[in-house]
Amino acid sequence: METGCFTEEILPITVKTKKGEVIISKDEGPRQINSEKLAALPTIFKENGTVTAGNASSLNDGAAALVLMAREEAEKRGLPIL
């Protein structure tokens, strides 16, 4: 992530918050991993389960969307062509 290999695949967006507008321009994951700490994390859904905070999907995984349309329609609406 730090090398910028996905920069061309991420489209910055402006998000309105209570404190003003924020530009989101980079992904939140993957995180740095420490295998000892990962192994010590408790399960989150059931006792003796397998899902922990370390292997569960992060919030940004569920926040993707795609709008597919003809180039002409995107140009008419002034939308970026990806």
pLDDT of residue 63 exceeding 80, the answer is no
Each residue's pLDDT tens digit, 4-55: 787 888 888 999 999 999 998 877 766 778 889 988 999 999 999 999 988 8
List of residues 6+ apart from 74 with CB closer than 8 A: 80, 81
Alpha carbon of 62 to those of 59, 77, 78: distances in Å? 6, 27, 27
Range of the domain at 71: 7-77
What pLDDT is stored for residue 52 in this prediction?
92
pLDDT > 80? residue 74: yes
Structural domain includes residue 1:
no
Single pTM value for the model: 0.42
For the segment 49-62, the average pLDDT, to the nearest whole number, is: 80
pLDDT score of 1 more than 70:
no
* Number of domains within the chain: 1
